[in-house]
Amino acid sequence: MMFGFLRRKLRLAYLRKKPPTPSSRRNLSPDLEANLAAFRRKLGASPDLIIRRLRLGPETGIAGALLMIGGLTDQQVVNRDIIRPLMNEMKQAKGKGTEDLLDYLADKVVVIGEVRREPQFEQALDLLLQGDTILLLDGEEEALVFTTQGWKTRSIQEPESEQIIRGPHEGFTEDLRTNTALLRRKITNPGLQFEETKIGRRTQTTVALAYLRGVVNEKLVKEVRTRLKRVNIDQILDANYLVEFISDAPFSIFPTITYTERPDVAAAKLLEGRVAILVDGTPMVNTVPTLWVESFQSPDDYNFSFHYATLIRMLRYLSFFLAVFSPAIFVALASYHQELLPTPLLVTLSGATEGTPFPIVVEMIMMGAFFEILREAGIRIARPVGSTISIVGALVIGEAAVSAGLVGGPTIIVVALTAITSFVVPRQVTAGIVLRLTYTLLAGMLGAYGILIGMLFTLLHLASLRSFGVPYLSPLAPSTAADLKDVLVRVPIWAMGTRPRLIGWPRPQRQPVGFDQVVEEEREGANGADG
Amino acid sequence: MGRTADQGGRNRPFSKGGLRLLMILLLIPLLGGCWDLRELDSLALVFGMGLDLGPQGDGYRLTFEIVRARQIQTPGPGGSGGGGGQRNPYWLLQATGPTVFEAVRNATLQSSRRLFLSHTQVFIIGEELAKAGISPALDFIIRDHEPRIVKWLLLTPDEPKQVLAVEPGLEQITAVAIADLIQNYGITSKIKPVRVVDYLETRMHKTSANTLPIIRIKETAGKKELIIDRTGVIKGDKLVGYLDPKETRGLLWVQDEVDGGVVTVDAPGGEGKATMELFNADTKLTVEGNEHGIQVRIEVKVRSGLGAQTTSVDLSTTNQIERLEKRQAEVIREEIGAALTKARDLKADIFGFGEYLYRHDHRRWKGLESEWERYFVGAEVDVSVEVMVEEVGLITKPTIYRAPEGG
Amino acid sequence: MIIFVVLVFIFVFIYEAPELVEKEYWRELAVFTLLLLLGLVLSSLLVSGVKLPYIETVWIELGEGIHRVIQTSL
Amino acid sequence: MDQGKISPWQLTLLVMSFTIGNWIVLPAGTEAWQNLWLIMILALGEGLVFAYLSLLLFRRFPGKTLFEIFALVFGSVGGKFLSLLFLWFFLQTGAAALMIFVTLLKTTIFTATPDMALLVPWMLIVIYGCRRGIEVIARSNEPLIIATIVLLFISVLLVLNILDPANLLPLFNLPLSDALWISVGIAVFPFGQNVLFLMILPRVNRRQKVTGAVLKGMIGAGGYLLLIQFLTVGVVGKVGEIYVFPSYEFYRMIDIARVLTRLELIPLLNFMTMGFIKIMLCLYALAVGTAQVFNLRTYRPLVFPLGALLLIAAFRFAPSISQHLRFVEEVNPYFGLFYSVFLPLLTLGVALVRGWLRRRVTS
């Protein structure tokens, strides 16, 4: 038995260590037809591969071919800036001079922003697949690659998953370049660095690291880089493919890497010394290190007055507490600790649940599951039929179940409360569901003691989590007094003089702290009035 | 921070499937769980509990007032709760046993649900039991984790069952009605409210005598009503006598428990009465003593106002107010005196003079403790009452018709 | 019940031991096994209803014994 | 061995939680009940002195755990013997905390649930926490102790109107010798148990602040216990002396406008979370200590077997809570004096004498 266990572990280790198959490196051949054949062989009979044959130079000239993928290249650019100059210029060209033909073409003929020479076949193929245009010439061992990417992208829209009232309304898009531009627009500082790599053996997805040099901790950047380098994955279709690879606690229900759809949020995190990971094709930007308390912050906190923001933030903590604990507490009180209920409430509860067929735990889990199903159906269903769901749900849950005596009215109230409150903190929704279910079960088995056990276990787990070296629960535990300014309360912006201690420690000072900046004028005015 | 690079491998909180292991281990002992689980509809909610001696004079006979939660309708749509028609919202159950605990358990022989005592509002003790000794019956209430010791304790000369069977005028449950009756003691200050824990505390001071409010049934025109208007004196552990309302008020004065209420005096300068409303009453008690005797000083300070008058004399003049004050002080002194006389008659230190001495001068107390009864009866008591009449209500002149004078 | 206890202890052994073997922590393995066996024996005894002495009772009796010895010797 | 580091502030909070640990049971005879809070001031003073003496040991051997100090001072064999003695102390401290905790649960809200079902899941999370190391223990302690203190202040507000100062009288009705003896009992029972931290001090990242941190923690815990005791006497009065868990009874008596009432969960929550940290620290010290006695490189695999032993010890700790109260009153003071005063002082003395001798020899 033990050896089986050992063997299994070893086999897993073997799987982990298996090196990626090295891709064969092949150079382009000087023979145009051979090259074309190679491209055709690789890409098969794909109809979107466009091969435009042309002959350069006077008379017969040199045979050449332009390769591009339809839909990925900007057709207009190719026609106007590549094909036309090539044909026009070369007609008058006096033939090959002393200089290299490719250099000549690149330097003097083609009017494209970015041109480079590529000797390798595989590389050229990759570039082709990314929307570049490739010029192959007979007799040349290298290809010219023109950057002509141009495809339809979604325009910058309001982020749907992070709505705010005040503040900027633009959101990231699926296009990486647009996203980096959005970040540059926010932070006009030479320190803003992007590092791009391609991850995904088959998808070759561009992944960009962004950080603010001078603010960021270099060790953190190095750590992110190494983790990204370790990723050996076939495909990246969404940022989450990557996140599950590089997160600190892959089994944890708590997200140790957060996301945002908003450039202003991402910029704020960069300015705090965090590193952003942008994945091409994903309108979400991930930032690390992630703290638990970040989930409770919203961009609107900084767009409204701090009194209001503080109040709302406390409400958010309360909502999360209610979302996670209210079913469990209800179960514990109603089926274990009736002595703790105020007398009138007990009588009401007792009257309302009398005659219902199931124990309260079962009722609670049943209705909770029912609600989750409704929610899921509401998301997946085609929009036009969506309203049916809410009507059916409201009718069935709210009315029929209670009046048929299947479940007690209080259960419905608690489930409804949970449903509403759980959406107040969107980043902890997934964790919230797991916690809620576990606590409810534990409450059903051991009452308040069960909840306490679950709570302590969660606390230990949270305390043991780290996100890229930073304790997940900081600044609560380990507590950093200076960083509590943006946790339970949101202090005025002029008082947020320092960056988070554990993240932005190389240069903690953000701005001079103090009242002076804010009220100097007023004080002068007061003095003037006195004098 | 600073260990960023080496954290990756070490800090995998659930590496090696630790989470699963732990969860499995955690859940196994719980699988057979739910030992203490009691669904709401398996509980009989006891709101009132009557304790009395058993039929043969040994053991106990308990009366439980159990709520039928279904029958207590909260306003809501539809008659969904109407199953079984309208029944009495409570159910009276009697059980006997050699101890209170066994009697409680025996009650389950007749009840389809387990009795749940945590929400018992009042404990009513029958006179017979009170004469035989209360503590043995209270032991269970104090020892067990379900009954709460901050709930009211009362005495009744009638049978506890009869008391609990009286249909209350406003509330649906008799026990709640009784609890509310006591809760409102501050409106009259004619009831001495006692919780189980108060009883226990007084009893622990061996020389003090306990007092318990008396609830009884008042029958008017065939209709039964509940009334709390007297106080029983428990000396040692046994009922020895009663205080009438006046003496009860006296007791409350001494113990500084008068919160409000009224004092009616003979109106000065005419026939008729004036009723004074108490706004604030404050009593300072000092007890001093040695082997030769003890001196008690009771200083009462009262702020009050004119609440009603039946005389046509204008009482709002300074002169009259002064007389009102004097008369009121006189009445209060009489009340205190009555209580003192009764206490001396019963040789029961219901005021806690001994307790006061113990607290403030425990060295001297040691010498007096053994013969406290004697010292108590012979105590010199000095009562001083100071009354301030501050208000005369919304009007300044009397509204009573006055036959025109003269002629 | 005993079977359950034994199962739990075996499970813990399987959970901990491979890593120790892998790292060649023989001393650790020995101490671990020893303590585990001790725990197994004691908990089996406990579960099977053997009346192990109460720790406090032992101390109290010990104290009383010493007291008595001192008294008699005085 | 555990490489985690904690800050002095975290150490302070850990000391607080550990001392508050099983506050619900204090050594008090019935005569002392009303004056217990006064005696506690005295006891806190004594406890601070004892703790300071023990801390001198750490100052003399910075960066060494108690067991390493034993080995340095008494040599290998003597050191091992003393270490084993102390392992028993850790085991017994943890087992007592566990037993009181389960007794409280069993007599108040879980009357039908078997001990096993209450203790096993509890022990499992304790083991889980212990394996994570001191860093995680310290971190999870922070919210718990802060919640405990906040709840204490809320309770103060809740009981202000039912607190009867007369209940606190008479003051000083106890012979001084009795009071002194009880104060020694308290000085060694919750306060003196802090000798356990000699196993943890090397894990603190700023050594020069250790002494202050420990003493601050003890003062904080002392203040907490004092306030709770004061409130309990003031609210419950003389009745409190007949209850096993008077502080629990104190919360049962809160009844504000019939709405804020039935607050038993507050003391249960405080007691259990603090006890949780206490048991976890005991198990941690036990495991680390055992690993040091046997010169092991890691303590982690020992946590489970030792946890099982702790569980068994808790099962067979005391036949009843009343006997435990008697034990706490009569035997524990000697026991505590031996462990938290005599042994550290002996070690310190021997170390000083040895150092002095060596200096004489070299000069």
Question: What type of residue is A132?
Answer: D
CA R_g for chain C? 19
The pLDDT score that the predictor gives to residue A518 is: 62
Q: Are A145 and A116 in contact (CB under 8 A)?
A: yes
- Tell me the torsion sign for CA atoms B365, B371, B373, B376: negative
**Predicted pLDDT at B24:** 58
Q: For residue B20, give how far its alpha carbon lies from the nearest alpha carbon of chain D (Å).
A: 12
Q: Cβ A248–B80 below 8 Å, yes or no?
A: no
Domain B246-398 falls in which CATH fold? GMP Synthetase; Chain A, domain 3 (3.30.300)
| A-B C-beta contacts closer than 8 Å | 127
Q: Which run of H or of E encompasses D19?
A: helix D8-20
Strand, helix or coil for residue D188: helix
Q: What is the domain partition of chain B in residue ranges?
A: 39-73+88-243, 246-398
Task: Give the span between the Cα atoms of C17 and C14, in whole angstroms.
Answer: 6
Q: Which residues of D touch B33 (CB under 8 A)?
A: 113, 117
Nearest to B164 by CA among B226, B98, B89, B245: B226
Report the run of H or E that residue A285 belongs to, with start and end. strand A285-288
Residue among D113, D116, D124 minimizing CB distance to B36: D113
Q: State phi, psi for A157 to the nearest 5 degrees.
A: -125, 175
CA distances from D102 to A459, B296, C5, D99, D126 (A): 21, 49, 21, 5, 14
Question: What separation, in Å, do the N-terminal and C-terminal C-alpha atoms of chain C show?
Answer: 52
Residues of chain B with C-beta less than 8 angstroms from the C-beta of D4:
none
Which pair of structure tokens corresponds to residue D290? 């055992």
CB-CB neighbors (< 8 A) of D112 in chain B: 35-36
The reply to whether residue C60 touches residue D330, judged by beta carbons under 8 angstroms, is yes
**Is the separation of the CB atoms in A360 and A440 below 8 Å?**
no
Q: Each residue of A167-188: pLDDT tens digit?
A: 898 999 998 989 999 999 999 9
Q: Rounded distance, CA A476 to CA A485, Å?
A: 11
Orientation of helix D36-60 relative to helix D66-108, angle to 10°: 150
Beta bridge partners of B224: B219
- Mean pLDDT score, B117-135: 92
Single-letter residue type at B227: I
- Which of A216-220, B19-23, D81-85, D133-137 is the least confident region? B19-23
Domain assignment present for D2: no
Half-sphere exposure of A377 (CA within 13 A, CB side): 15
B43 to chain A, any CB pair closer than 8 A? The answer is: yes
Q: Tokens representing B287? A: 């007890």
Contact between B189 and B165 (Cβ < 8 Å): no
Locate B323 and state its tokens: 């007389």
Query: Do C56 and D324 make contact, defined as CB atoms within 8 angstroms?
Result: yes
3-class DSSP state of B82: coil
Interval B89-106 mean pLDDT? 92
The Cα–Cα gap between A5 and D137 comes to 30
Which of D134, D129, D147, D145 minimizes the C-alpha distance to D16?
Answer: D145
Report the distance separating Cα A55 and Cα A35, nearest Å: 16
| pLDDT at position A270 | 92
When scoring D310, D316, D324 by the number of chain C Cβ atoms within 10 A, the one with the most, hence best to mutate, is D316
Asked if residue D361 belongs to a domain, the reply is: no
Q: Confidence class of residue D31 from pLDDT cuts 50, 70 and 90?
A: low
Q: How confident is the model at residue A144 (pLDDT cuts 50, 70, 90)?
A: confident
Q: Which residue of C has its CA nearest to D293?
A: C31
Mean predicted lDDT score pLDDT of chain D: 89
Contacts of B47 in chain A (CB under 8 A): 343
Domain that holds residue D294: 8-347
Considering only CB atoms, which chain B residues are within 8 Å of D114? 35
Partner-chain contact D290 C39, CB within 8 Å: no
Cα B193 to Cα B233: distance, rounded to the nearest angstrom = 13
B28: which chain C residues are within 8 Å (Cβ-Cβ)? 4
Q: Are D164 and D234 in contact (CB under 8 A)?
A: yes
Q: What are phi and psi of B305, to 5 degrees?
A: -145, 160
3-class secondary structure, B123? strand
Could you give the CA distance from residue A414 to residue A323 in angstroms, rounded to a whole number? 9
pLDDT at A9: 52
Evaluate if residue D339 carries a pLDDT over 60: yes
The minimum CA-CA distance between D4 and chain B, rounded to whole Å, is 11
Q: D290: which chain C residues are within 8 Å (Cβ-Cβ)?
A: 31, 35
Chains in touch with D (3+ beta-carbon pairs under 8 Å) read A, B, C
- Using CA atoms, how far residue B65 sits from A251, B92, B94, D282, in Å, is 54, 5, 9, 49
**pLDDT (mean) for B41-48:** 91
Does C63 contact chain A (CB < 8 Å)? Answer: no
Picking from C27, C52, C55, the nearest residue to D295 by CB comes out as: C27
Token pair belonging to B80: 């969904």
Cβ-contact A475, A503 below 8 angstroms = no
Asked if A13 reaches chain C (Cβ–Cβ under 8 Å), the answer is no
Looking at this predicted complex, what is its ipTM? 0.90
Q: Which residue of D has its CA nearest to B358?
A: D170
Q: What is the mean pLDDT of residues B185-192?
A: 86
- φ, ψ for residue D239, nearest 5 deg: -60, -30
Q: What is the mean pLDDT of residues A389-397?
A: 73
For residue A287, what are the β-bridge partners? A258, A276
DSSP assignment of A306-331 equals HHHHHHHHHHHHHHHHHHHHHHHHHH
- Beta carbons of B327 and B228 less than 8 angstroms apart: no
What residues have CB less than 8 Å from B74, skipping those under 6 apart? Answer: A348, A351
pLDDT (mean) for D133-154: 94
B41 touching chain A per CB within 8 A: yes
Q: Is B21 on the interface with C (CB under 8 A)?
A: yes
Distance from CA of D358 to the nearest CA of C (A): 35
Rounded CA separation D37/A65 (Å): 96
Q: Is the pLDDT of residue A4 over 70?
A: no
Minimal Cβ distance to B21: which of C4, C15, C19: C15
Taking the CA of residue D212 and the nearest CA in chain C, the distance in Å comes to 34
The reply to whether residue A356 touches residue B121, judged by beta carbons under 8 angstroms, is: no
CA distances from A226 to A222, A240, A467 (A): 6, 18, 15
- Weakest-pLDDT range from B398-407, C54-63, D143-152: B398-407
The mean of the pLDDT values for chain A is 84
Q: What share of chain C is helix, strand, coil (3-state, %, to 5)?
A: 85, 0, 15
* Whole-number Å distance between alpha carbons of A403 and D146: 45
Backbone angles phi, psi at B175, to 5 degrees: -60, -40
| pLDDT tens per residue across span A439-450 | 998 898 888 999
Cβ pair A271, A186 in contact under 8 A: no
Both tokens assigned to D225: 């216990």
From the CA of D94, how many Å to the nearest CA of chain C?
13
* Chain D positions in Cβ-Cβ contact with residue B352 (cut-off 8 Å): none
Ramachandran angles phi, psi of D337, nearest 5°: -60, -40
- Nearest-10 crossing angle of helices D115-132, D300-315: 150
Half-sphere exposure of B101 (CA within 13 A, CB side): 9
Which residue in chain A is spatially nearest to B66 when comparing CA positions? A347
User: Which residues in chain D touch residue C28, judged by CB atoms under 8 angstroms apart?
Assistant: 291, 296-298, 301-302
Q: What number of other Cβ atoms are within 10 A of residue B131's Cβ?
A: 13
pTM over 0.95: no
Q: Above 80 in pLDDT, residue B327?
A: yes
Using CA atoms, how far residue D197 sits from A208, A468, A477, D82, in Å, is 48, 30, 20, 16
Chains A and C form CB pairs within 8 A to the count of 10
Evaluate whether residue D179 is within a structural domain. yes
- Interatomic CA distance for residues D264 and C65, integer angstroms: 41
Partner residue opposite A461 with nearest CB, options B13, B37, B67: B13
pLDDT confidence bin for A384, thresholds 50/70/90: confident
Structural domain contains residue D362: no
CATH assignment at residue D145: 1.10.4160.10
Q: By the CB < 8 Å criterion, does B29 face chain A?
A: no
Which pLDDT does position B50 carry in this prediction? 94
Put simply, the chain B residues between 56 and 75 with a CB less than 8 A from any chain A CB are 67, 69-74
CB-based contacts of B185, cutoff 8 Å, min separation 6:
B191, B192, B193, B259
Q: What is the pLDDT of residues B258-285, one digit of tens each?
A: 888 888 988 887 778 889 899 989 999 9
pLDDT above 80: residue B57 = no
D299 three-state secondary structure = coil
Task: Report the percentage of chain A scoring pLDDT > 90.
Answer: 29
Q: What's the CA gap between A363 and A413, in Å, rounded?
A: 12
How far apart are alpha carbons B80 and A403 in whole angstroms? 7
Euclidean distance between CA atoms D118 and D104, whole angstroms: 11
